[in-house]
Structure formats: C-alpha cells, structure tokens
C-alpha cells in the first residue's frame, strides 16, 4: 500500500519508454519518478551495507532496508482517529494544484490482512452519526464493523488483522441457506429517521438485521497484541424474505441511504420494495416486479464475459426520468437495464433505458454519481473489465429525463462516438491501454460542493506497477479517454492512483467508498481489496481541491549521493575505449545517431542522453516517512559529450573524473513542481543550426514539453540550462505534462535550403497535448534553424508559425514515436521519411505497431496521413489481420494503379506484440542492392506484455512503385513483402531490435553496415554487427548467418549493453561504433529491478568487431571468441587481442536477489516507451514510500 505522490502522465510515458519494451501499448513516459520517497532512502541504506562489496544493489535482501518498511501491528491504547485536521499537516506544504492526490489529501491509513470484502458503499449502522467501515468476511463467516477511521502512522505502514482492531464489532453470519452460495450484503434504510441497517442474502433468503443491534467492542491493547479475536456478536434478524429462486444480488434504494427501500434480483425477476418488510414474508410481495427477458440469464455469446457475474445491482439515484433508478447488470450479455421506480411492473425491456455494450462483461460493475454534465439528472458509470483483451473499459453514462430509449457503448472503440443514444452522445468512455481489468468494481466519492467536485474510483487489479485503483475527478469524465494513453493519460491534476501492491496479486479487485455523513468534519474513505481478503483503507478530503499552500523549508541537511561499487571496468586502448557512468546516471541510455563535431575541434564526438540522472530536492510529503527526511530525487537528466580523442576510463574511475568530458545538466526547476526535467530522453547531433560552421545538439524533455537546441563550439561546456543565454542556444516550448511533446528529436539536415540545419522532432499525441477532446494522432515537425538564440513558442502546436517548415500527422487513433529521414527511397531525388507508432494496439491487447513511409516533396506541403494513407476502417487500423490489410485501404491521393503519391504504410500482423519501430530502430541503409534507390532498416522488439515474439530487423528495399501498404510478417514468408528482408533475434524479451544503427555505403565504407542491440540478451546485453548485404531474402534467424555476424559481448554486470547504438565516424581515427548500456535492471520474469553501477559507453573500431568477408558461412553459430570477459568477438578468431574487463574477485559473481538496487522503478520505465528507466522510480516510490 503506497501513498507516494502522483507523477505526471509524461512521467509514465517516459517511464515506458525508458523501460525496455515494458511499455506495451502506451504512450506513457517520463524519465525518473520526480518524487522518489524512499528510493534514495534505500539507496543510502543499501549502499552503507554493501559499499565496495557489490556492484548492484537490491533492497529486497537488505535487512537495513527492510527495517525501513516496518509495520505497527499492535494498536495504541487510545487509537487516533482520522479527521479533517490531518489536512493541515506540514507534509501538505507546497500544494500547487498540479497533483490531484495532493489536492484531495490522499492518505493511506491502515491495511487489514484478513478483513474480507468491503461494501461498495458503506453506511452508519452503529447509530453514532459517523460512517462505519463494513467488511464481509467469507473465510471467517463474519461481518466486521469498525465505527471509526484509524489515523494510521506518519512513519510506518500499519498492517494488522481485523481481529486486532479496536472498537470493532464482529458479527457471526447465520447458517447459509445454500452452502455453495456466497453472501450478498448491502446497507439499507428501513424507515426514515432511523439508522441504516444491513440486509444479507444467501440462497433463496434475504435477512434484514435489526436496527441498532451492532455494538462496537474495544479490544484491550494486550488482546490486540496477542491477535486475540474479539467476542463475536450474533446477527439479530428482524425479518426474512423468502423467494422461489436464488437471490443474485441486493442493493439499497439510493447510494445515500436517504430513503427507505431495497431492490432484490432473484431468478428472472427484479423486485422493488418501497418499504422493507418488518416481519417474515414471501419475497414476491414486492411493491413492483419487473421480468427479465427470456435469455437474460443465459451465458451469451461473448467469450470474454463468461467469467463475469450473472447479475449485478446498484442504485443509480435519480438518473432516469428524474426518478429513483436502479441498474441491473447482465454482464454475460453485455447488457444493463436502468429502470426508474415510476415504471409499471412488467417487462424490464419496456420499463426504462437499456444500455448495450459490445463486449468484455459490460455491467460487471455499476456506480451512481452526481450530475456531472449539468443536465439536472444524476449520472452513473458501468464497468467492462474483460474488454479489449482484459485491459478493461469504463463507460460514463449521462442520466436522461427520458425514461425510454437504448444506449449503445462501443467498449473497444477509439473514436468519439463511443456512447450513443441514437445520434446523440450519451456519455464517455475510458479505456486502459495496458494491463488493468479496469472497472472490475467501481466507487464514487461525493462532491463537497459545486466547486469541489466528486470523483470516480476505478478498480485496476491487474497492473505491472501498482495494482489497486485510480481516482478520477469528475472534471475529467466529460471527455473520452479511449485512445492514446487512455486512463493513464488523464492529467495528474485530475487523477491519482491508489497503489496497493507491487505488481503482484489483484489488489483493487474490490473497491468501496464510505462517504462522510458530515463533510465539514469527516473525511471520505476509500477501500481497495484483493480476492484474499486484504483491505487497504485510504482517506480523501474533498473540501479544498483548489487551495494552494506555501512551501516548507527542510529541517535536515541534504544527504550524500547514493553509491555502489563499480560493476564494470572501462578500457583505454587504441581501437576500443569506454567510459563508466556515475551510479544511477543512465549513461548510454540514448546516443546521438549522426556523426558530428560539436566541440569544433575537427574530430567527431559522442553525445549521450542520460534522462534518468538525478539529484536531491526537498519534498515535505516524505519528511516523516523516509530516512532522508523528505529529500527525494529530482530527475534533471543530462547530456554528456565525449570529444574525439578523449582517453578511455581506467579502473576505479567514472566519466565524471574525465576532465575532457562535457556535462550539461537538465534544469533543476520546472514550471510544474509535479514534473522533473528528465532532459536527454532523446538526443541528436542535428548539424549546424546557427551558421557558425560547428554542429549543434538537440535534447528533449518529454515531461516538460521542451527541446533545447544547444550550440556547439568552444564554449559548449559553459552551457547552463537553468539560465540558457541566446549565445548558447534556445528552447522550443510546447505543452507539458501530457501528449509527449518532444518525444523524439531527429536530424533532418537543411530542409529549406537556407544554409542552416533545421530541427526535426515528434509530438506523440497532439490533441492530448493541446487538451482537445478528439481522437489521438501524432505530429512530426521540422522547424527552421535559428541563428540568434530566439526561443520558439509552440504552446499552440497547430497555430500558424513562421518557424514551422513542415508537418506530418499520423492517421487518427494513433500516436507517434519516431520520425527519421531515410534517404531517397522512391527515386525522385528528394529525401523521404519514416514515421512509427510502435504502440499501435488491438482489441485483443496486442501491440503490433505500425509505420508509414512518407515521400518528401519540393512543395513542403503539410501531410495528413488520415486523408492520404489512412484505412477506411477508422479505428480498426490496429485490429485488422494481415490477410485483409491490403483490401481495406483507401487513399484520396493515389493514382489509378493503386500506388500512393504520398507514401505507404508498413504493417505487421495483429496476432502478436511485434512493436514495429520500437525504441531507436529506424535508419537509412543507403542503396544496398545497387538499384539507385535508398533502402532502410526498421526494428521491432517483440514486446514484453502480451503475445511476445522474438524481436527483429527488417531491411526495406526502396521502390518506385510501392503499393499503399507493405507487410512485414516474420511468421509467414508468403505474406511477407518479397522486397522486405527480415532478420530475427535469438530469444523473446531480449530487446533485439530496440536499438538499430546503420552506416550507409560510401567511398570509405564499401559495404553498408548494420548494428543491432539486444540490451536484455544473456543478462548483460549483446550487440551485433554485420554487412547489410548479408541479410538474405525472406525471413532468417540471425543465428543462421554464422560467421557473417560479429557478436559484441560485454561484462558490465546487468548493463543492458546495446540499449543504444551509433556509428560515430572516425572517433578512434578509423570508422567507429559506439554502444551504450544504461545499467537499468528491469526483468519482468524474475521481478528484479534496480540499477547496476555498470552504465557505460563503449567506442570500438569497426574493423575489430566486423567479421572478414567469407565465401560462405556454413556454421549455425555466430563467430565469437566464446570468452564472456571479452568485449568483442571477431570472425578472424583473435587476430586482435580482445579486451578483458575483469573486476576484482569480490565482484566476480552472478547477481543474486540481494544485488539489485530497487531504484528500478525510478528509472526503468522512463526508457521503455523511450527506454527503460523511469518505471523504476515509479515502482520504487510506490513500494517504499509511506502512504
């Protein structure tokens, strides 16, 4: 259970990007968690215990770290009660409205290990005018009632048995009518003016408890400490209703329990009782009865919904016809009735509104909300947790004064027309783009007043980072969140997550809410519970969501930086040099692809973007819960320039010790305190932008929507991004926190022919970045070079702007992850481009990815692929099979022969998560086959979440007559385009194909070369190099190329060697390949996450690692030395002596569970979508920060 502060959507995007292929279909990124409560706490403690003995730090096996996660099991004699005064605590200093969790003072209170299942809406059953926590415990056959909300602890997680809770009542359930049936329990109101009571159902009976019969009993401190259960009370029955059929569900008249009444679903009938009988009676004697349709209790034809409950019930308050309304869900049929009590008894189909979902167990959950769209009707939400390949969906349905009329919900749609009543919009849709099963249950936190709105609580029990739930403000529910990042894309000032677990279990399977009876004196309570009976209790204060608070000054000094023993020894030889990064810096996470001299000394340089580099900043939220007293990581990011001629590192040194290396750190402060800079997520040497004859650098921050253009030259080291002066460069400013503005920066040369290099970059989701309610699409931009250091304001991304030379938009319902110039692939003499969306996902939850080849033109007119290359099946472009792709494409600007004048689409089959174009994997290969047309390579990494495959690289040959669509199919050669040659990696989840670099044929390079990274192969990572001409036609495993492939191995422990690649000219005085490994540990299979002190960059001469040409290759294995200590392998078997990177004996070990610093969360996911580093921060904050 974690109460760490919320991070921005950008953070998650980077996270994904930084985390190797961990990001399946999202567009979530942000380098490191801006607020890493105990991340450094772990670092500091772990380091003190393993310093100079281990190169990889793991908090899991460290006693010192475990002690930080202590729990208080025994309550104090007089347990403190949560109250609104808690909202004035020092930890809430510095609230600025950027984090919704702060604005509502989200606080975790206590975890009960065995409480059972919370009621969807709890009530006051003890008669003290305060709401009670109520849990149904099937394991102990009890109902547990706690008459207050425990305060918990500012320092520790409070975890205990429900039997240890003070002032709790434990009511023994009666003997079951049907032992095979589970209990259904609801609060109900029997009479106006009286306290609510409990109704319980089992088999064919509903039992009403006698009002005010529950009396909480205090446990003595001694009894609690010894886990002695309180004396159980009896369930005092006041009346029993008996039905002729089994009872499926029961619920109250309204969610506020303000009027008497009850609904019962039994057999094929729905019963409404305007007043609840006070004596035993036949259940059929109801005020009204509605008959379900003949097949309403059938299993239906939707295979995704067969595990859903058969019938669900929920009060919908005054949603339909301005009357008290009940919702009855039939999830196996994806059908919900919304019936007002004014409807006459009879057919349910004729009684009210019928809402039809398309799939996924629509109706598994329902919850009433207030009137969020100001039409004087209450609104409600419906969950479909099995939709979209079990990722889930939630529909928000607007109430209506019309009682009749069908509503249709397209649960898998990414369009705007997802919730419709005829031709009118009748609500909105939220989808989860990755694991989730969102909407398994739902809750609603009532608004305090019109300005301080309520919130929807969405269960999310299946999540790789933090299963639990997401709280979404009403302000976000008026628009669809069914494309792009979906639920994860809701801005951080409108949503907060309740992280109950650490990627394990199904916490959040059940959610519930306990509204305050007096919101001026009581907090709202939220529950997240798993299927094993563990319940986490949270509170929120909805009263002052728009209040800001002044910052607090730290009470303790800044702690020392984290440290660990090196896990890699750099080398310094004539034909290979390497540099070890500082611990947790992420050196080598992103290498600038192009050859360039940014220092102006006439030698090519290496530029590395290290987005996860961080330093400390103070956050009072964590002052009491971390050993560092509120000092948390500020992920500034950085770029480091290694000038040509720089000596390699030596044993015991890092790159920081090399005075020739230039370091430019990201800004320490950002416009939004909830977001860190994480500069260096993408970096490029972009040519001479200011006309001084020296190459310049561009570096991005996805979290803040900025691109810094940094002028090269002798003063490069003087660049200060905290105060960037016009003589050192300028900033391109775009919308921040959402939309992925600046997701990638790329070299495009002098696009407009004015003698200055121009700047190319990506905005991943343009409408989302602009806050617009429409289907997602990404945009590629090219901006003019800038001599005078003038900042460029692109806050309005689509307004006319003199600096914008060209734009290309993806088709609707896509995002954009990369934009790369690939030479002239169609022979018209003009450079062409490849755009990718590696997160293209299907309704089955697969992520095949997609790419588009866009031809350059002399006119430089904006290109909208929706109008030129888009599918006629709007939102289904990611769901078609390869068999039908070529027959459904329409092209407004194609000629009669079916060829496109704009370009073509590259697709992969939708049966797997190929993730075409993942990472940095598109490169111009030059004219490989000698036909006068340029060719290019594009990678796919095979995914890590659903339906993974081996990654690979495709060589796409240029053509003057491309069809509108070309298919890459590694599993079916017959369907694979005959002019696309595919090379596949040796194993799934190795990241083979995430990083690709090509060196086109030239005068000094007779053969085009290809380098491929596999950052997770063989634990440390591997890189491959070969001649492009050696890729055979068809589909070939790289292992089949034998000694035509050079394998470059690395003994940097867990370095993710091969995470980035770049051919860097004659850096070593001859053609050189640079290879980066960021040292981020992110292993979904073993659960290991963290940092290894092995982040490094290797520069190696190509002639050292490239095999000599052979007449034929007959072996099935790569030619390599077989010595794991060798950095390089060579087909001429050691004509060059391989370098050894052996460490001291104390480091010669295989990393164990205790060897990984759980910084992982911090860094990991930032590089997934973009890399693999930010996720660590995120997980870490969740895992080790006290709520």
SS3 (DSSP) at 90: helix
The pLDDT value given to residue 311: 96
The Cα–Cα gap between 222 and 228 comes to 9
Mapping DSSP to helix (H, G, I), strand (E, B) and coil, where does residue 964 land? coil
Q: What is the pLDDT of residue 434?
A: 76
Contacts of 887 (CB under 8 A, 6+ apart): none
| Rounded CA separation 329/313 (Å) | 6
pLDDT of 76 reads 47
Q: How many CB atoms lie within 10 A of CB 733?
A: 18
Q: What is the CATH code for 95-540?
A: 2.130.10.10
pLDDT band at 685 (very low <50, low <70, confident <90, very high): very high
Written as six digits, the tokens of 739 are 């939309």
Give per-residue pLDDT as tens, 108-145: 999 999 999 999 999 999 999 899 999 999 999 999 99
Q: Which has the closest alpha carbon to 426: 469, 455, 395? A: 395
Can you give the pLDDT at residue 32? Answer: 27
Q: How far apart are CA 97 and CA 854, in angstroms?
A: 42
CA angle (121, 308, 27) in 5-degree steps: 85
List the Cα angle 694/700/703 in 5-degree steps: 165
Dihedral sign for Cα atoms in the order 654, 659, 660, 666? positive
Answer yes or no: is pLDDT of 878 > 60: no
Tokens representing residue 893 in the block: 């600007």
Of 671, 677, 707, 665, whose CA–CA distance to 689 is shortest?
Answer: 707
Residue 773, pLDDT score:
63
CB count in 10 Å sphere of residue 549? 16
> Are the CB atoms for 393 and 387 separated by under 8 Å?
yes
Contact 468, 511 (CB under 8 A): no
Helix (H, G, I), strand (E, B) or coil at 261: strand
DSSP result, 127-150: SSSS--EEEEETTTTEEEEESS-B
Instruction: Give the pair of three-digit tokens for residue 607.
Output: 């530029």
Cβ atoms of residues 498 and 111 within 8 Å: no
- Look up residue 688 and give its two tokens: 């001479």
**What is the DSSP secondary-structure string of 1069-1110?**
SS-EEEEEE--EEEETTTTEEEEBTT-EEEEEEHHHHSPPP-
| Per-residue pLDDT tens digits for 79-116 | 899 999 999 999 999 998 989 999 999 999 999 999 99
Q: What is the average per-residue pLDDT within 466-490?
A: 91
Separation CA 203–CA 173 (nearest Å): 14
CATH of domain 572-1153: 2.130.10.10
Query: What contacts 523, CB < 8 A, 6 or more positions away?
Result: 82, 83, 84, 86, 149, 516, 539, 540, 541
In this structure, the strands spanning 117-118 and 380-384 are unpaired
Secondary structure E strands in 919-999: 922-926, 935-940, 950-956, 965-967, 980-988, 995-999
- Residue 230's pLDDT is what? 55
The pLDDT score that the predictor gives to residue 924 is 97
Given this model, what pLDDT does residue 79 score? 87
Taking residues 342-353, what's their average pLDDT? 95
Averaged pLDDT score across all residues of the chain: 84
Which band of pLDDT confidence, cut at 50, 70 and 90, is reported for residue 216?
confident
pLDDT band at residue 889 under the 50/70/90 scheme: very low
Give the model confidence (pLDDT) of 1010-1032 as tens digits: 999 999 999 899 999 999 999 99
Name 974's Cβ contacts closer than 8 Å, sequence gap at least 6.
Answer: none
Beta strands in 17-89 (DSSP E): none
DSSP state string for 1041-1057: GGGGSEEEE--STT--T
pLDDT for residue 149: 96
In the sheet where 965-967 sits, what is the strand order? 818-821, 833-837, 850-854, 903-907, 965-967
Helix or strand (DSSP H, E) at 68: helix 63-68
Give pLDDT tens digits for 374-422.
999 999 999 999 999 999 999 999 999 988 889 999 999 988 899 999 9
Q: What is the DSSP letter of 121?
A: B
pLDDT in tens, 4-49: 665 433 333 333 333 333 222 222 222 223 322 222 223 333 322 2
Q: Confidence class of residue 1143 from pLDDT cuts 50, 70 and 90? A: very low
Computed over its alpha carbons, how large is the radius of gyration of the chain? 31
**Backbone φ and ψ of 1174, nearest 5°:** -75, -30
Beta bridge partners, 983, equal: 953, 1036
Which among 187, 177, 109, 113 has a CA at the least distance from the CA of 145?
Answer: 187
The span from the CA of 331 to the CA of 355, in Å, is: 11
Three-state DSSP class for residue 983? strand
| Residue that wins the pLDDT comparison between 1016 and 1130 | 1016
pLDDT for 463 equals 86
Percent of all residues in the chain with a pLDDT value above 70, rounded to a whole number: 82
Identify the pLDDT of residue 10. Answer: 38
**Overall residue count recorded for the chain in this entry:** 1187
Checking DSSP bridges between strand 419-421 and strand 405-409, what pairing results, if any? Answer: antiparallel
CA distance 1078 to 582: 10
pLDDT in tens, 348-359: 999 999 999 999
Please tell me the predicted confidence (pLDDT) of residue 512: 97
Find which of 751-765, 878-892, 1084-1098, 1135-1149 is predicted with most confidence, using mean pLDDT. 751-765
Distance, in Å, from the CA atom of 498 to the CA atom of 515, rounded to the nearest integer, reads: 17
Predicted confidence (pLDDT) per residue in 276-324, tens digit: 999 999 999 999 999 999 888 988 888 888 888 999 999 999 999 889 9
Q: Is-contact 1014 985, C-beta < 8 A?
A: yes
* pLDDT tier for residue 955 given thresholds of 50, 70 and 90: very high
Q: What backbone phi and psi angles, to 5 degrees, belong to 830?
A: -120, 140
Does residue 916 have a pLDDT over 60? yes
pLDDT tens column, 841-876: 787 778 899 999 999 999 999 999 998 875 433 333
Residues of the chain with CATH 2.130.10.10: 95-540, 572-1153
Residue 341 in contact with residue 272, Cβ under 8 Å?
A: yes
How many whole angstroms separate alpha carbon 568 and alpha carbon 652?
Answer: 9
């Amino acid at each position: 259970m974690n109460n760490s502060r919320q991070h921005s959507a950008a953070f998650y995007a980077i996270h994904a990007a930084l985390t190797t292929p961990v990001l399946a279909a999202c567009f979530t990124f942000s380098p490191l968690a801006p607020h890493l409560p105990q991340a450094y706490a772990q670092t500091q403690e772990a380091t003190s215990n393993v310093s100079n003995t281990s190169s990889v730090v793991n908090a899991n096996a460290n006693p010192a770290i475990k002690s930080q996660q202590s729990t208080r099991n025994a309550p104090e004699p007089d347990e403190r009660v949560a109250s609104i005064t808690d909202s004035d605590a020092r930890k809430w200093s510095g609230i600025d409205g950027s984090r919704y969790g702060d604005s509502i003072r989200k606080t975790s209170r206590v975890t009960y290990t065995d409480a059972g299942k919370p009621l969807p809406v709890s009530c006051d059953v003890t008669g003290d005018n305060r709401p009670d926590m109520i849990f149904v415990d099937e394991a102990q056959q009890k109902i547990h009632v706690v008459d207050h909300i425990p305060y918990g602890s500012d320092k520790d997680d409070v975890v205990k048995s429900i039997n240890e809770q003070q002032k709790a009542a434990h009511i023994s359930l009666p003997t079951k009518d049907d032992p095979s049936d589970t209990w259904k329990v609801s609060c109900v109101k029997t009479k106006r003016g009286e306290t609510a009571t409990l109704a319980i159902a089992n088999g064919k009976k509903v039992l009403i408890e006698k009002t005010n019969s529950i009396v909480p009993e205090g446990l003595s401190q001694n009894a609690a400490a010894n886990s002695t259960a309180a004396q159980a009370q009896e369930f005092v029955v006041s009346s029993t209703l008996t039905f002729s059929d089994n009872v499926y569900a029961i619920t109250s008249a309204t969610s506020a329990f303000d009027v008497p009444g009850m609904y019962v679903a039994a057999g094929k009938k729905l019963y409404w009782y305007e007043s609840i009988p006070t004596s035993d009676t036949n259940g059929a004697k109801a005020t009204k009865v509605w008959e379900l349709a003949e097949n309403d209790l059938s299993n239906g034809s939707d295979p995704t919904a067969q595990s859903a409950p058969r019938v669900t019930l929920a009060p919908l308050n005054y949603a339909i016809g301005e009357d008290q309304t009940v919702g009855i869900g039939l999830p196996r049929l994806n059908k919900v009735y919304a019936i007002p009590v004014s409807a006459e008894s009879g057919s349910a189909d004729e009684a009210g509104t019928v809402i039809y979902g398309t799939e996924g167990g629509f109706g598994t959950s329902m919850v009433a909300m207030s009137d969020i769209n100001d039409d004087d009707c209450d609104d409600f939400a419906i969950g479909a947790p099995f939709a979209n390949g079990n990722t889930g969906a939630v529909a928000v349905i607007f109430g209506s004064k019309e009682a009749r009329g069908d509503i249709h919900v397209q649960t898998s749609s990414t369009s705007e027309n997802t919730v419709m009543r005829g031709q009118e919009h009748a609500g909105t849709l939220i989808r989860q783009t990755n694991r989730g099963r969102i909407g398994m249950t739902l809750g609603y936190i009532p608004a305090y007043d019109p300005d301080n709105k309520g919130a929807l609580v969405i269960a999310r029990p299946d999540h790789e980072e933090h299963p639990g739930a997401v709280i979404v403000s009403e302000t976000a529910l008026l628009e669809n969140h069914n494309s792009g990042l979906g639920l994860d894309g809701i801005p951080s000032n409108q949503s907060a997550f309740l992280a109950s677990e650490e990627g394990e279990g199904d916490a959040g399977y059940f959610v519930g809410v306990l509204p305050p009876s007096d919101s001026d004196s009581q907090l709202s309570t939220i529950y997240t519970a798993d299927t094993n009976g563990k319940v986490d209790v949270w509170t929120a204060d909805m009263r002052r969501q728009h209040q800001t608070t002044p910052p607090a000054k730290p009470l303790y000094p800044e702690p020392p930086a984290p440290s660990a023993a090196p896990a890699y020894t750099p080398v310094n030889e004539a034909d290979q040099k390497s540099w070890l990064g500082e611990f947790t810096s992420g050196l080598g996470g992103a290498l600038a692809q192009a050859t360039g001299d940014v220092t102006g000394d006439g030698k090519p340089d290496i530029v590395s973007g290290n987005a996860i580099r961080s330093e400390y900043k103070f956050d009072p939220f964590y002052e009491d819960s971390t050993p560092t007293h509120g000092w948390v990581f500020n992920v500034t990011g950085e770029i480091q320039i290694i000038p040509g001629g720089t000596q390699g590192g030596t044993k015991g040194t890092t790159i920081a010790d090399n005075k020739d290396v230039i370091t430019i750190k990201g800004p320490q402060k950002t416009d939004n305190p909830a977001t860190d800079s994480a500069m260096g997520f993408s970096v490029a040497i972009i040519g001479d932008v200011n006309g001084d004859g020296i190459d310049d650098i561009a570096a991005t921050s996805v979290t803040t929507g900025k691109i810094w253009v940094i002028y090269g030259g002798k003063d490069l080291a003087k660049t200060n991004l905290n105060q960037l002066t016009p003589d050192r460069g300028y900033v391109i400013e775009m919308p921040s926190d959402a939309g992925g503005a600046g997701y990638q920066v790329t070299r495009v040369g002098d696009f407009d022919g004015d003698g200055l290099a121009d700047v190319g970059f990506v905005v991943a989701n343009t409408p989302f970045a602009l806050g617009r309610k429409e289907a997602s699409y990404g945009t590629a931009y090219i901006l003019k070079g800038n001599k005078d250091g003038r900042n460029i304001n692109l806050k309005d991304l689509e307004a006319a702007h003199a600096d914008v030379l060209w734009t290309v938009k993806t088709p609707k319902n896509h995002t954009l992850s990369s934009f790369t110039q690939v030479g002239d692939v169609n022979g018209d003499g003009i450079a062409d481009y490849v755009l990718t969306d590696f997160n293209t996902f299907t309704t089955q939850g697969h992520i095949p990815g997609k790419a588009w080849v866009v031809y350059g033109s002399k006119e430089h007119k904006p290109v909208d692929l929706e109008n030129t290359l888009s599918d006629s099946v709007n939102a289904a472009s990611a769901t078609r099979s390869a068999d039908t792709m070529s027959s459904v494409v329409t092209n407004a600007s194609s000629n009669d022969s079916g060829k496109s004048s704009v370009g073509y689409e590259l697709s992969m089959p939708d049966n797997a998560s190929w993730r075409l174009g993942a990472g940095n994997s598109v490169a111009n290969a030059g004219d490989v086959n000698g036909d006068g047309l340029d060719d290019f390579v594009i990678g796919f990494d095979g995914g890590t979440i659903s339906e993974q495959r081996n990654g690979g690289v495709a060589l796409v040959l240029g053509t003057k007559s491309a069809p509108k669509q070309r298919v890459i199919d590694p599993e079916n050669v017959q369907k694979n385009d005959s002019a696309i040659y595919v090379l596949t990696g040796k194993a799934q989840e190795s990241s083979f194909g995430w990083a690709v670099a090509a060196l086109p044929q030239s005068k000094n390079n007779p053969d085009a070369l290809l380098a491929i990274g596999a950052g997770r192969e063989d634990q440390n990572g591997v890189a491959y190099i070969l001649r492009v001409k050696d890729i055979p036609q068809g589909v070939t495993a790289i292992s089949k190329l034998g000694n035509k492939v050079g394998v470059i191995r690395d003994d940097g422990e867990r370095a993710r060697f091969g995470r980035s690649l770049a051919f860097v000219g004659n850096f070593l005085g001859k053609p050189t390949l640079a290879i980066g490994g960021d040292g981020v540990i992110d292993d979904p299979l073993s659960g290991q996450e963290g940092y290894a002190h092995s982040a490094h960059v290797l520069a190696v001469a190509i002639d050292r690692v490239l095999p000599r040409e052979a007449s034929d290759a007959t072996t099935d294995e790569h030619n390599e030395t077989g010595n794991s200590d060798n950095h390089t392998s060579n087909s001429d078997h050691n004509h060059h002596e391989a370098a050894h990177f052996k460490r001291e004996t104390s480091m010669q070990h295989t990393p164990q569970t205790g060897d990984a610093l759980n910084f992982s969360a911090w860094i990991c996911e930032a590089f997934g979508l973009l890399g693999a580093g930010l996720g660590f921060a995120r997980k870490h904050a969740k895992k080790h920060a006290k709520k």
